[in-house]
Structure 1
Amino acid sequence: MTSTSHAPHFKELLVIGDILDPRSGQRYEAMLVRSSKIVDVGSRAKFDFAGMERADLTGQGTIVPGFVDAHSHLQTGSRVLGLNISVHTPPADCIDDIVAILQQAAASEAGSQRWIEAQGNLGQNYRLTDKRYPNRHDLDRVSTDRPIIVRFGAHVWAFNSVALNELGIDRNVVLPNPAHVEVDEAGEPTGIVNDLVMVESQMPSMAIPGPAEGSFGAALVKTATDYFTARGVTTIGEMTDGIDSLSSLREAILSDDVVLRVKLYALDSVVRELVSAGTAPSVLGLDDSRLEHRLMLGGYKLAADGGISAREAAVWEPYADRAGYIGQLGLSPGEVERLVEKAEKQGLQVLVHAAGDRAMDFALDEFERAAGKLESRDGRPSWNSTHRIEHLGNVFATDERLKRSRELDVLPVVNIGFLFGIGDSMAGVLGEDFATKPLYRLRTLLDLGFPAVGSSDFAGGLPEVSNPLLLMRVAQDRTTFGGVVLGEDQALSPIEALRSVTVDAAAALDMEGLIGEFSPGALADFVLLSSDPLAAQPDELGDGTVRVLETWLGGKRVWWADS
C-alpha cells in the first residue's frame, strides 16, 4: 500500500535522523526547515527543540536529498504507460505473446477505442526470442479492421496494415529527416517506422489520434506518482509535448495532484515558438506566483538526429546490423548556433539530442561557432547558461569528443539507465566487440571536471529507468539487462552514484544550491530510504532491498509507503 498526502505544511519544522548530504559527504542529526527551505543543518544539540514541530525519523533509515532527473518525458510516458496496453518484456517473451496480449485487449472493454495502442520496450527486439520487432503481418493477426500501433520507445513504432493505410504510409511515401520507413525486399513497408515522432508536427496527417477527452489528466497524475514521486524523485527536467498536455500538467501541479518540481525544455515546435517569442510565461501560465519553483522554464530542446535504438542516429560508419546505413541529420548548419545566441540573451539553456557520432560532431561544431562570438573566461566560453548535448557520453564517447566538450564547456549528459536497458543492443551498432568500446563514460566525465549527470530519458519504453536507485546501481555495477558488464573502469563509487542523481543532476538544470543537497537556502526536498545507500551492495539498490519510505517536497511529506 502507498499513500499520497495533502498534509499541512509547517512554517517551521525540525527534521531529525540520519541525514546524508551528497555534496559534502557529511552526515547530520538534524535539519531546520522554514517556509519550505533549509535554514541550517547540524547536530541535535545545535537546535532548541522547545515548542518546535518535529519530524523524528531516527532509526527509520537514511535521509537523502530528493532525487533529480535531468531529462524526462513525463507527458509522453503518461500517455503510453497510462493509456496504452503494456506488451513489455518481461513478461512478453516472444512476438506470439505480444499478439496474444493484443488479441485479448482488442476483445475487451479496454480495447473498445478504434485505435489499439500498445507500449513495449526500447530495444525489445534484443529481448524477444524472435530477435526482431513484430511487423504488419504479425499485427494483422490481431485485427484487419482496426488500426494498431505498438511503440517500442519513442523512436521505433510498429503498425498493422490498416494503420499504414490510414496514415498514407506506402512504398511511395517520403518522410522528412530523420524519419524512415522500413521496407521489405519487394519495396513494401514492413510496418516498422522509425522516428515518426520527430516529424509529426510537420505532417499533421501522420499524427496518431490523441487520448479520449479527460483521460490524460488521470494518467498524468498516476504516472507522476508511480514512476517519480514514489521513487523519491522531486525534480525533473521535462521535454514538452504540446500545449494541451502542458496545460494538464500545470493544473495537476497547482492542485498538488502532481507533487514534483518541473523545469521545462521546449521540444515541440509550438511551445518552442512561444519560448522564442518570449511569450511562453504568459501564454502557458508559468508566471503564476503559485508555480514558483514548481513549474519553470528551462530552455530549448533540439534533435540533431534520430534514436540509436531505431538505428536512425547519424553515424560516420554504417551500423553493424543495418549494412550501408548511416542515419540522417535532423538539423541544418546554423540552427543550433542561432538558437544558442538567442538563448544566451534570454538566460535559457539549449539541449541538443545527438545520439550518433556524426550528430555529436555536428552539435559540437555548432556550439564552437556560437562560442566564438563570446568572450572567454579561463580559456573557455563565458556562457550565461549550462548548455548540454544529450546522449554524448553514451556511445561513441571518444576521449577527443569529451575533451572537446570540456574545452567548449558544453555538458555531456549520459543516460546510464540505457546501459541496463539497451546496452546489449549496442552489438548491432558497434559490432560483436561492442563491450570493448568506450560506453557510458561517467568516470571519464568526472575526471574531466564535469558532473556525472543522472538522467533517465524516461518516456515509457524503459519504465524502470525513472528509478534513481536503479541508476545508482547501474552506475556502480555497469551490468546490462542481459548480464553483460560494460566498462568496469567507468564505475562510480557509492557517494558518486548518489551525487549523480542529486547534486550533479541539479547542475544540469542550472539549479545548483537550490535542489539536490542539504545546504542553507536549498529547498527542503528529501527522501527517507529504508537503509543507507552507501552501505548497500549495488544489486540491493535495484531489487527493493533499499527502498523509498517517504518523499518530502518543501518540508511537506507528499508520499509514503505503509508498513
Structure 2
Amino acid sequence: MATVYVNGTVYTMRHEGDKCTAFVVDDGKFMYCGTDEGARAFGEGCQVVDLKGKTVIPGMIDTHQHLFAYARDLQKLNLKRAGSKKELLEMIRERASHTPAGEWILGTGFDHEKFTDQKELPTREELDLVCPDHPLIITRYCLHVNVANSLALKAGGIGRGFQAKVEGTVEFDENGEPTGTLRDQAAADIIAAIPDPLASLEQKKDAVEKACHELNSHGLTGVHAIQGIHCNLPEYTDVYQSLADDERLTVRVYLGYDELPGCHIRTGLGDEMVKYGFYKLYVDGNMGGRTALLFSPYSDDIDSMGIPNYTQEELDQKVKDAYERNIQVGAHVIGDRAADMLTTAIERAYRENPKPDPRFRMIHMSLLNEDIISRIADLPVVLDIQPMFVSTNVHWSESRVGHDRSRYHYCWRKLLDNNMILTAGSDSPCESYDPMDGIYAITTRCGMDGYPEGGWFPEEKVTVYEALEMYTKNAAYVSFEEDLKGTIEAGKLADFVILNKDLFHTEPEKIKDIQVEKTYLGGRMVYERGNSLR
C-alpha cells in the first residue's frame, strides 16, 4: 500500500530552490512528488502522513568512510576528548588499571595538535610509564600516525636496526632506537599481530549493524566504504551482503578496495544495497603527520617534503591497469606534489584511450595550485572532498605550509568556480560523519569552536545548497547512480530524511545544531529520534 506524505517543506535537490509539499512512496520508491492535492489523488485507502511543515531532504550519502574501521573503533579506548598529553596519558593509565595484564590496549581519536601543554606525540617511554604491562598502540584521529609502547613494538618485531617496508614510516631516536611513532604500513604490521575481537562473521556483522544505525541517526542512507590495508582499514563485502540478506543493512554501500579484483568484474557489480565500486590508491600520507607529498618543504620542518607511496611510473601503471578493466579509479592525495602525480597519471591513461564516462575520483585534493586546477578542469574527474578537514585543521594548517600556500588549502570555491563536481565524505573514523557538521564546516570555514571569526580564507566558502548537493545529488553521481537516488523525484529510491529545522533558513553557524528526526531507506523508517528501531 502506498504512503502519502503531505504538508511538508520538501527540498528535492533537483536544482537550487526546487521544492514541493508532498510525495507518495510505494514499493520502496517515490511514485509522485508535487502538491498535496496531487498526492492525495492517489486514492482512498492510502496511509496519509502529515509532515506538519517539517523539512524533508534526500537521504544523504557519505562518499568517503572507513565503515568497518569505525565499527571496530566503537570498542576501542576513545581518546578524542584528550585535551593535553597529560590527560591522554592519564586516560591510558586508567584503562590499563582495569585491563588484565598482557591484554592489548588500543586507543584512537587523539589529536596532539590540540594539546594545551605540549603539542607533541607521546613517546614510547611515556607510554611505558602508564602502561608497562600491556602492549599498547594509539592512533591519531587521521589514522596515519600511531604511537606504540615497548611491548607492542616487540610484538611487531620493531627494534634497533629495523628496516621498514616504506622508508620513513618508523621513527628512530639519535641512538637508533624506535621512538614509538609509526606511520601507515609500519603500524599495520603490528596491528596484524593483535588478537581480533571481531574474528567471526557474526561478530563483524553485529559491529557493522550498530555502526550503520549510528549513521542513520545523522540522516545517512548511503556510504562509500573504503578499504586501506596499509593503514589497517579493512572492509568485508560478505559482511554487507550477509547483513543485506538478513534485512539488517540500513545504509546502501558502495565499496572501494585498494586491491584490484582477482576475477573479471567491473564497477557496478551488485545491487541497490551493496555494490562494487572502485580501486582505491594511496599516493601519499597526510598533512598532520607531515607525510603528505609537497613540492616545497614543510614550513615547520624544512627538511621534509613528505613521503610518496609510488614512483610516477608505478602510479601511471596502477591507474592504467584499473582503467583498462573498466574499474573506476579513486586515489588519495593530500599534498600538491601528490595531486600533480595523480593528475599526470589520469592524463596519460585517459588521453591514450579516451572512454565516454570514467569519472575518475580524486580524493581529498587538499593542497593544490593553479596549474593543477587548470589541468583537472579538462579531465573527466570528480573530487571527493572532506568538509570537516578545514574545521579540524584550521588551528594548525598554516604552520605546515605557510600563509601563501594555504590559499590553495581546501580551495573548494575555486574548484566549484571551475565547474568541477564535488562530493562530500567524512573520512570517518578520522572525522565526524554528521553531514550537518560537514555543511557547517564548508559554509563557515571555521572550527567547531567558531575560530577564526568570519572564517579561514572566507573567499573559499560555499553555499548551503552547494554543500548539500555534495551529500546528495553529486554523491549519487560519483557512483554512477544519479538515475537511482540523490534527489526526491518519481522513480527514484525513497531514501529521505526529516529534519527538525530548515537548513536553508538557518544561519550557517547554527547548522551544526540541526538534528535528524527521522530517516527512511526505501520508504522504511530506519531511525526515529528518541526511539530505538533496532
TM-score by length of 2: 0.90
1:463-515 Cα deviation digits (max 9, x unpaired): x2x01011111111110256133221111122222212111222222221322
Paired residues of 1:303 and 1:354 also in contact (CA < 8 A): yes
Q: Contact conserved, 1:118 with 1:150, CA < 8 A, in 2?
A: yes
1:277 to 234, 241, 263: 263
The structural deviation recorded for 1:60 is 5.5
Conservation of the 8 A alpha-carbon contact between 1:60 and 1:530 = no
Q: Note if contact 1:86-1:120 (Cα within 8 Å) is conserved in structure 2.
A: yes
Q: Work out which of the residue numbers 452, 456, 459 in structure 2 matches 1:486.
A: 456
Aligned residues, how many? 518
- Write out per-residue CA displacement over residues 432-488 of structure 1, whole angstroms, 9 at most, x where no aligned residue: x36952221222222111123111111x232x2x01011111111110256133221
Shift of 1:338: 3.6
Residues 1-16 of structure 1: matches in 2 within 5 Å? Answer: 12-16=2-6
The secondary structure found in structure 2 opposite 1:407 is coil
- Find the partner of 1:95 among 85, 95, 98: 85
Distance 1:413 1:27, change over 3 A: same
User: 2:443 matched to 1:476?
Assistant: yes
SS in 2 for 1:192: strand
> What's the counterpart of residue 254 of structure 2?
263
Please report how far the alpha carbon of residue 187 of structure 1 lies from its aligned counterpart in structure 2 after TM superposition.
3.0
Residue 362 of structure 2 aligns to a residue whose secondary structure is strand
CA distance in 2, matches of 1:56, 1:559: 16
* 1:383 Cα deviation after fit: 4.2
Return closer, same or farther for 1:359/1:161 CA change in 2, 3 Å cut-off.
same
1:461 partnered with 2:450: no
Encode CA deviations 1:510-542: one digit per residue, 9 max, x unaligned: 221322211222211000000111001112221
User: Contact 1:20 / 1:62 at 8 angstroms: preserved in 2?
Assistant: yes
Aligned-partner residue type, residue 222 of structure 1: K
**1:135 aligns to 2:108 (yes or no):** no
* Cα distance per residue 1:350-377 (max 9 Å; x no partner): 00111111111111111111012124xx
Whether the 8 Å CA contact 2:84–2:112 is kept in 1: the answer is: no
Q: Does the alignment pair 1:535 with 2:497? A: no
Please, which runs of 5 or more residues in structure 2 have no aligned partner?
none
Per-residue deviation at 1:212? Answer: 4.8
1:495 aligns with 2:465: yes
Pairing of 1:40-51 with structure 2 (within 5 A): 40-47=32-39, 48-51=41-44
Match of 1:398 in 2: 369
Partner Cα separation in structure 1 for residue 239 and residue 119 of structure 2: 38
State how far apart, in whole Å, the 2-side matches of 1:107 and 1:208 are: 20
Once the two structures are superposed, the pairs formed by residues 167-178 of structure 1 within 5 Å of their partners are: 167-177=156-166
Indicate whether 1:67 and 2:60 are aligned: yes
Matched residues in 2 for 1:204 and 1:219: separation? 22
2:291 is paired with a residue of what secondary structure?
coil
Match of 1:145 among 133, 137, 141: 133
Q: In 1, distance between residues paired with 2:191 and 2:25?
A: 52
Deviation digits for residues 99-122 of structure 1, max 9, x if unmatched?
22122212225x67711101123x
Equivalent residue in structure 1 for 2:107, among 100, 108, 118: 118
Rounded to whole Å, the distance in 1 between the matches of 2:59 and 2:505 is 19
3-state DSSP class of the match of 1:114? coil
Higher relative contact order (Cα pairs below 8 Å, separated by 6+ residues): 1
Secondary structure at the counterpart of residue 352 of structure 2: coil
Q: 1:113 to 1:50 in 2, by over 3 A?
A: farther
Q: CA RMSD for the aligned pairs?
A: 2.5
1:93-242 matched pairs, under 5 angstroms: 93-108=83-98, 114-121=103-110, 123-153=111-141, 154-177=143-166, 180-196=169-185, 200=188, 207-214=193-200, 215-226=203-214, 228-240=215-227
Q: Which residue of 2 aligns with 1:79?
A: 72
User: Residue 14 of structure 2 aligns to which amino acid in structure 1?
Assistant: R
Q: Does 1:35 find its partner at 2:27?
A: yes
Give the letter for the 2:56 counterpart: I
Q: Which residue of 2 aligns with 1:388?
A: 361
- The alignment status of 1:557 with 2:525, answered yes or no, reads yes
1:137-187 alpha-carbon deviations (Å, 9 max, x no partner)? 221122223210001131000101111122122231121236511222333
1:206–1:480 Cα change, 3 Å: same
Distance 1:388-1:65 versus aligned 2 partners, 3 A rule = same
Alignment partner of 1:231: what SS?
Answer: coil
C-alpha separation in 2, matches of 1:373 and 1:116? 50
User: 1-side partners of 2:236 and 2:336: how far apart?
Assistant: 33
**Worse overlay, 229-238 or 347-356:** 347-356
- Three-state SS of the structure 1 residue aligned to 2:217 is helix
Gaps in structure 1 of 5+ consecutive residues: 1-9, 376-381
Amino acid at match of 2:507: Q
The share of aligned pairs that are identical, in percent, is 24
Cα–Cα, structure 1 residues 225 and 211, in superposed 2: closer, same or farther, change >3 Å? same
> 1:254 and 2:269 equivalent?
no
AA at the equivalent of 2:488? F
TM-score relative to the length of structure 1: 0.86
Instruction: State the one-letter code of the partner of 2:4.
Output: L
Partner of 2:337: 358
Query: 1:244, CA displacement in angstroms?
Result: 7.4
**Residue type matched to 2:529 in 1?**
A
> Do the aligned partners of residues 438 and 52 (structure 1) sit closer, same or farther apart at CA in structure 2, a change above 3 Å counting?
farther
SS at match of 2:302: coil
1:180–1:195 CA contact under 8 A, matched in 2: yes
